[in-house]
Structure 1
Amino acid sequence: MGKITKGIAIVTLFFLSTVSLIAQDAKKEQTLDVIIKNLQKQHNVQFNYAEDVIKSITLKPPPKNSSLKQALVYLEKTTPLQFSLNNSSIVIVKPKEDFFLCGYLKDKDNLQPIVSATVQGFKDVAITDVNGYFKIKISKPSELITIRYLGYKTINRVYNQFLTSECGSVFMLPDFQFLSEVLISNYITAGINKFNDGSFKVDFKNFDILPGLIENDVLQAVQSFPGIQSIDETVSNLNIRGGAHDQNLILWDNIKMYQSGHFFGLISMFNPQITQQVSILKNGSDVSYTDGVSGTISMQTDKNINNVFKANVGVNLTDVNLFVDLPTGKMGSLQVAGRKSVSEVLNTPTYNNYFERISQNTEVDNNVDNTINSDKTFDFYDASLRWLYKISENDEIRLNFITVSNQLQFDETAEINNTQQSRTSQLNQNSIAGGLYYKRTWSTKVKSTFEVYETDYKLKSVNANVLESQRFLQENIVSETSLKLQTQYSLNNTMKLSGGYHFVETEITNLDDVDTPVFRILISEVLRTHGAFAQVNYSTLNKNTTLVLGVRYNYLDKFKKQIWEPRFNFSQRFLDYFTVEILGEFKHQNTSQIINFQNDFLGIEKRRWQLSNNMDIPVITSQQLSLGVNYSKNEWLVSVDGYYKNVDGITAQSQGFQNQYEFVKSKGSYSVTGLDLLLRKQFSHFNTWLSYSLMNNLYEFKDLEDGTFPSNFNITHAANFGLSYSNNNFKSSIGANWHTGKPITIPEGINPNSEQSIIFGETNAEKLEDYIRVDASVQYDFKISNKVKAKAGVSIWNILNKENQVNTFYRIKNNEINQSVQQSLGITPNATIRLYF
């Protein structure tokens, strides 16, 4: 009973205290004079003040149980007065005076005013005028002032370090990063901009929303651009202006990646929380880039050092993910991000749809007769890290690391000699990469950068044939080391020069190993490339004219082969609202993906990387030229690009033929003539767009019977329509994707001289049915507390549940031609909740 009585007493005391506090808070306001007299009696202190200072000030009194210090802090926050405690005497001074900072912002080199720069204090913000003049309100002498302007080093300085007695000059140092000017803002939706170097940039910090996406999936988002499609709706098969996926250069903080997706291509493997910006270059790329004869997708993490702890955690119907941005002192910050699939805990409808999609027409889905597949499991994860550190005012480094894994496993069971036997088959796809970047600013005109990376990719399959007691092991391993040194020099405000050296060593290993009968073939090849490049950037002061001319020299030491690659970019604004662009480039690449057999690697990820040998597998080269015109006025945008692209040195094995050329080894080329069009209109809270692509993509294989015929990636017409609505914290979007079907070859019969071969008709003369898909997304941001924010969203992919055919092929079964059809994703919902700290 003693414990019970004591507990009741504690609860009663707590209740009475709470009631007392509530009653205290509920008291009516009092004059400051009355509050001061009560505090003098309570704490035995003396307040000194003039009567007119506290006159007419009324407020609620501080909590009764507050200490003297707590009461004074409370009074300072709730009144415009300052309270200075000295022993037992408290001086009350007049209302706090406002401080102002004014000045003229100028370039330190030429003393020219800097217009439209941002000057920001704790509460107030100002933009410099045509004379570089600014004025902002300051709350206290120790307040931090930040001054930013594109192309200049940011100033972070407290108020009392400025010349505050008069509006003096404030000088900014140029930061020669050679950043391109924005040509068109909100190209498709908010956060997507087009620059005058021909590139497109997606800024996920300011990104709006796209139909069917609730997470900022990097490689799904780029498919909203005209000229970029996925022939089978995966991110591991992106086609930029009719090119194959292996012809895309994919960079993560300048590290080349040989893997791009989770779920073997259905979602991007790059964590959107740490990947803040994506650049897309379809033509006219910088000479510092090599590889990617079809296009470049360059992802970047945040380049600013964060001095405040930030974190967020989220979960959706495929994975749970975490992101942390941690300051490491005043001069550095560390970002860490990770994702893990939820399959070990729960098989959601989204997960099940994805798994069903990737396993269609593969050994995972359909095994040989009398063999049953069971215990199918799939798991993925990724982890990435970025560390920034500013060694000095002129030196900074960046460290990157990323690791990615996809794991598929299932059991094959069959009855052998009246006994059930099981063996496990599995597929692993992994990437691990790290990079170091160092930047040195020698002077206001000269800057150098040094970067080195190591990237490794491994695809491994163990295919267990339980009927034959056979194990078939396959491996595809890529290991690449890169070193690049670049120096940039600014001649003046209109012209900049850059040049550098680039070394790349690529090693690719392929293994096929069978235990019964014993068969093993291991091929490992290495290729080293030396590159030297130089470029001049010219831009008029008003930025209406931009010209970039560059050349890259490549030397492939194994083949003693020299390749020269000129590149150029010209942009001219005219009649205020029009811009014309002319872009061109020569590029090459030494790697490609081939398919030996359609059932390699369990048929899931059957493409393996290989190196050029300069014979039957040539070095791939490309030439591209494009002409574009843009019109932007009154929230209307019309953008038209016509282009011609020729790619030489491709092989039939790299194109994924599933007709009479499936096992043929032949060298060839393809040429594309096309048109990319975008219409966009913004009004009030709505944004609507329509993108359209027209292309004629033709192969030329001189060794093949047909010679010239439509490419496997010849999507003649493609259109993307979207409508989004944003208002305060609510965002929604709905859109439709349509394109003509993939080219296919129709069989005409079975070869009478070989019962296992099909006689095909004219190559790629027919097409699959048109593809159409309608998607929608809804997102809402809200506050949980002052320190915790949240975002919730729901999306539906393929609302109409349209059964789109993305591929078909033919095989002979029981002396008949059997058609296999691969379907797109059906209706697939997703939902997410994310907390920001």
Structure 2
Amino acid sequence: MKFNKWIFYLVFFVGSIGTAQTSSNKTPLTTIIKTLEQQFNIKFSYAVEDITAISIEKPSNALNLQQTIDYLNAKVPLNFKALDSRYITISRLDKTISICGFILAADSKNTLSGATIRTNNSKVTIASKNGSFNLENIPLETIISISYLGFETKEIRATAFFAAAKDCPTIYLKPSKEELNPVLIPVFLTSGLQKTTDGSTVLNTKKFGILPGLTEPDVLQSIQVLPGIESANESVANINVRGGTNDQNLMLWDNIKMYHSGHFFGLISAYNPNLTNKIVVTKNGTSAEFSDGVSSMINMSTNNEIKSSVSGGAGINLISGDVFVQIPLAKNLEIDLSARHSITDFVNTPTYTNYYKKSFQDTEINADNTTKNSNSDFYFYDYTAKILYDLNEKHQFRANLIGITNELNYSENNNSDDTKSKSSALSQKNIGFGGNWKAQWTPKLSTQLNSYFSRYNIDSRDHRVATDQLLTEANEVIETATKLNLHYVFNEHIRLLSGYQLNETGMLNQTRVSAPFYSSTKKNVLLNQALYAETEYNKNKTYFRLGLRLNYFQKFQKFLFEPRINFRQELSNQFAFKLEGEFKNQTSTQIIDFEDDFLGVEKRRWQLVNNKDIPIAKSKQASFGFEFNDNNWNIDLTGFYKLVDGITASNQGFYNNFQYKNANGSYTDKGIEFLINKTSKKHSAWLSYTFSQNNYHFESFIPSSFPNNVDIRHSVNMGWNYAILENLKMAIGGSWHNGLPYTKPVAGNETVQNGNRYFVNYDTPNSQNLDHFLRIDASFSYNFNFSSAVKAILRAGVINITNQNNIINRYYKVDPNDTSKTIQVNNKSLGLTPNVSFRVNF
């Protein structure tokens, strides 16, 4: 029998949900076979699993046996063959078909442009503007998955689609229970990156395509391609969003607030990208549900749906190896596990060597120092566990665990007798526990209860053998929180949210010296409560979200009101304008102590506000912009103004005359973000530009206003990815920005004396700029299958192909051999750094 795209199409889903035009007079094939056996006194021989999912219209009783067999062969993807007058065999056909369809929302009947249609043999297509799609040469045993953000994913076998039809069927997807905004741009820069109506960016790691230089969908590296997001010192532990510092980003993992973001002290994300399914990045117009993080919110979530079969994967690259598995224990119970560990215990790769030099170049663990007889041992690991339990259709329970660890041991020996002269250790950990209960009380009313515990620790020990002096330092954060959300769907266009949140945060800072004895321990606790409410309207061309959050700080007996607004209006099918604004506060900050804090490797300590020398940080932000979206061209132009008040000089990392002064001030960042992106099935090209003017203001300083440490006035990012073959992709791109500000010593008077100590005598703060930063990266990826159920992907990437000698920070210190002079210290970015990863998923 001949199969061709003109007569065989999708007609219905297994389970019937999501299929339009399903005829009411169709009968299961199993029933038809039993009827025919009685009618013609024959016997069919078949495998039950081959026919159970198939239903067709019953053949006419007027047909004879041969006509009936011909009818069945034309209607189902099976081969009916008569062995004799009594026995007929039914076997599978080893052939392919072409399928098509239209994808609509089950509730609103709106087309779901940008829905992803994916097969288990790695074929992928995207629904067009009218919701249509086509796939050719699909084996009959293929599993087809249709997904769209905010809707339930459908998975079926191609055998269930087989039928004769003249028109492509309409397929309806049910909205999921998650309160997510509709996708505005389904493929943004690369597959897996999407832009939603409220302006946030979503990274779906399972659908991640390819970005220049990356071999994995590392969230904190991936988001740096977005305008307004930089890493001034090339570290994921120092993400600067619209001029903010890293501690001003709210980091959530499955609703647990995390206080640590990077492995390798900032070079790679501490969150396993192969388990983290979805990441939402919000720069402005945040929901009233969230507070803290006056610069941005990075909200990560893992798998939240119970699977029907075991799945998982394992992979290795030149830095680490990982494994994850998702095990359904019952129809309503599943456990997900993951673990990742560095491979430095076994081998030192070129990638590890470059990362090591970058991380420890300006520390006591000096990677380039060849004059010492030293030894170091560094490794990291992380792990997660999640339990998913559905009590029934209306109640879902989730429990989460995450652990992140960086460990460093370092020692120095005397060159003369090889005895140990110094022994140091550094441990950095963040562990979190969380629980979540979702309840759908009525079709319109639902609640969500979240609770979590998060603990961050960094501990260092430095033992100098000659003097028997032991220095220990510790920084600890313990936070517990409970949040209750109430969601009410007024109608299909209006949603209401109200809720209550309770946070208790404690922070400890401790320093101890054994000889001479010194001990300092400071511990503070802060209790915050908040009430919030917002309404969300989304109809036709208008999206509007208005919220208000009321915060109460019991320790200070202080209230803070925080209004939020997010508005988008389509002016035509191509043009839209958007308006976003928010007030936010933050009660924790990272204080940067001295150069030798925590061995000089980690220079930041978390501290709580005290409403005196460390006030509550408050931000006010507004942005206004225009969007153009037509024929896969996306253009975005946004102007923004941001004021953050209540910052402290001690958390800015000054290398100038204000380095050791305590003062409170503010910074303002105003600028323009521009992005142009063209996508197609085979390629995506983009260019982004950010102009930003970022200045400090400290009234007690002279001068009181000067450029911010991360004042990057001009920043350009461009890239291009291309599908060479269906399973072979490449990406190349580059980033350029003007050099960061720095402060030079006063010429001819480089140092000043205070008592017995000498200090650098700095000139006007941040009045100089480093040379421009330029980096070009490239990546390749190749997908292949070991079987229909086991898939593999090989990726290779190179960071800084041209081995550009970029200086990312510069400061000065007193020359120990001549105290009237200074020594210039340059921190450099990564040189040419290759990486390769190999993954197998099942």
Both structures adopt the same fold (TM-score exceeding 0.5): yes
- Where in structure 2 are the equivalents of 1:334-733 lying within 5 Å? 334-365=335-366, 372-414=372-414, 420-540=419-539, 542=540, 544-683=541-680, 685-726=682-723, 727-733=725-731
User: Structure 1 residues 557 and 779, CA, compared in 2 at 3 Å: closer, same or farther?
Assistant: same
Higher mean displacement: 678-687 or 337-346? 678-687
Deviations 1:198-233 (A, max 9, x none): 211111222211110011111100101000000010
Deviations 1:240-294 (A, max 9, x none): 0000000000111111110001000000010011011111100000111110000
Contact 1:413-1:466 within 8 A present in 2 as well? no
- For residues 743 and 546 of structure 1, the distance between their equivalents in structure 2, rounded to whole angstroms, comes to 40
- For residues 133 and 557 of structure 1, the distance between their equivalents in structure 2, rounded to whole angstroms, comes to 56
The corresponding residue for 1:66 is: none
Higher mean displacement: 750-759 or 797-806? 750-759
CA drift of 1:409 comes to 0.9
Deviations 1:571-619 (A, max 9, x none): 0011210111100000001000011211100111110100000000001
The corresponding residue for 1:744 is: 742
Deviations 1:165-215 (A, max 9, x none): xxxx99998655332122223222222111111211111222211110011
User: Structure 1 residues 715 and 585, CA, compared in 2 at 3 Å: closer, same or farther?
Assistant: same
The corresponding residue for 2:232 is: 231
The structure whose Rg is larger is 1
Deviations 1:757-787 (A, max 9, x none): 2221111011111111111101101122344
- For residues 777 and 644 of structure 2, the distance between their equivalents in structure 1, rounded to whole angstroms, comes to 34
Matching residue within 88, 93, 97 for 1:92: 88
- For residues 120 and 683 of structure 1, the distance between their equivalents in structure 2, rounded to whole angstroms, comes to 15
Contact 2:577-2:625 within 8 A present in 1 as well? yes
Contact 2:187-2:679 within 8 A present in 1 as well? no
Deviations 1:688-710 (A, max 9, x none): 11111110001001111210000
Aligned letter for 2:584?
K
Contact 2:262-2:270 within 8 A present in 1 as well? yes
1:825 has 2:830 as partner: yes
- For residues 127 and 80 of structure 1, the distance between their equivalents in structure 2, rounded to whole angstroms, comes to 35
Higher mean displacement: 382-391 or 655-664? 382-391
CA drift of 1:469 comes to 2.2
User: Structure 1 residues 225 and 52, CA, compared in 2 at 3 Å: closer, same or farther?
Assistant: same
Aligned letter for 2:570?
R
Contact 2:751-2:814 within 8 A present in 1 as well? no
Contact 1:349-1:829 within 8 A present in 2 as well? yes
Contact 2:752-2:761 within 8 A present in 1 as well? no
Aligned letter for 1:831?
V
User: Structure 1 residues 155 and 606, CA, compared in 2 at 3 Å: closer, same or farther?
Assistant: closer
Contact 2:146-2:155 within 8 A present in 1 as well? yes
TM-score, length of structure 1 as denominator length: 0.82
- For residues 349 and 651 of structure 2, the distance between their equivalents in structure 1, rounded to whole angstroms, comes to 35
Aligned letter for 1:640?
L
Contact 1:306-1:332 within 8 A present in 2 as well? no
Aligned letter for 2:283?
K
Query: Matched residue of 2:206: which SS?
Result: coil
Deviations 1:526-566 (A, max 9, x none): 101001100001122x2x10110000000010111111000
Gaps of 5+ in 1: 1-35, 40-49, 58-75, 98-103, 135-142, 160-168
- For residues 477 and 122 of structure 1, the distance between their equivalents in structure 2, rounded to whole angstroms, comes to 47
- Where in structure 2 are the equivalents of 1:784-795 lying within 5 Å? 784-795=786-797
CA drift of 1:150 comes to 6.8
- For residues 679 and 126 of structure 2, the distance between their equivalents in structure 1, rounded to whole angstroms, comes to 26
The corresponding residue for 1:309 is: 310
User: Structure 1 residues 451 and 90, CA, compared in 2 at 3 Å: closer, same or farther?
Assistant: farther
Gaps of 5+ in 2: 1-41, 46-63, 94-101, 134-141, 159-169
Contact 1:797-1:829 within 8 A present in 2 as well? yes
- For residues 681 and 156 of structure 2, the distance between their equivalents in structure 1, rounded to whole angstroms, comes to 39
- For residues 394 and 174 of structure 2, the distance between their equivalents in structure 1, rounded to whole angstroms, comes to 11
- For residues 131 and 280 of structure 1, the distance between their equivalents in structure 2, rounded to whole angstroms, comes to 28
Contact 2:735-2:776 within 8 A present in 1 as well? yes
Contact 1:53-1:93 within 8 A present in 2 as well? no
Contact 1:373-1:410 within 8 A present in 2 as well? no
- For residues 105 and 675 of structure 1, the distance between their equivalents in structure 2, rounded to whole angstroms, comes to 37
- For residues 407 and 133 of structure 1, the distance between their equivalents in structure 2, rounded to whole angstroms, comes to 52
- For residues 418 and 154 of structure 2, the distance between their equivalents in structure 1, rounded to whole angstroms, comes to 77
The sequence identity of aligned pairs, in percent, is 37
The corresponding residue for 2:774 is: 772
Deviations 1:482-528 (A, max 9, x none): 10000011111221111000001101011101111111111111101
Aligned residues between the structures:
750
CA drift of 1:122 comes to 12
- Where in structure 2 are the equivalents of 1:210-221 lying within 5 Å? 210-221=211-222
User: Structure 1 residues 550 and 425, CA, compared in 2 at 3 Å: closer, same or farther?
Assistant: same
User: Structure 1 residues 472 and 222, CA, compared in 2 at 3 Å: closer, same or farther?
Assistant: same
1:761 has 2:757 as partner: no
CA drift of 1:836 comes to 2.0
Contact 2:629-2:635 within 8 A present in 1 as well? yes
Aligned letter for 2:803?
N
Aligned letter for 1:637?
N
The CA RMSD measured in Å over matched residues stands at 4.1
- For residues 270 and 130 of structure 2, the distance between their equivalents in structure 1, rounded to whole angstroms, comes to 48
- For residues 249 and 230 of structure 2, the distance between their equivalents in structure 1, rounded to whole angstroms, comes to 13
Higher mean displacement: 359-368 or 307-316? 359-368
User: Structure 1 residues 564 and 695, CA, compared in 2 at 3 Å: closer, same or farther?
Assistant: same
The corresponding residue for 1:296 is: 297
Query: Matched residue of 1:602: which SS?
Result: helix
- Where in structure 2 are the equivalents of 1:208-287 lying within 5 Å? 208-287=209-288
User: Structure 1 residues 156 and 658, CA, compared in 2 at 3 Å: closer, same or farther?
Assistant: closer
Contact 1:772-1:802 within 8 A present in 2 as well? yes
Aligned letter for 2:768?
E
The corresponding residue for 2:202 is: 201
- For residues 454 and 462 of structure 2, the distance between their equivalents in structure 1, rounded to whole angstroms, comes to 27
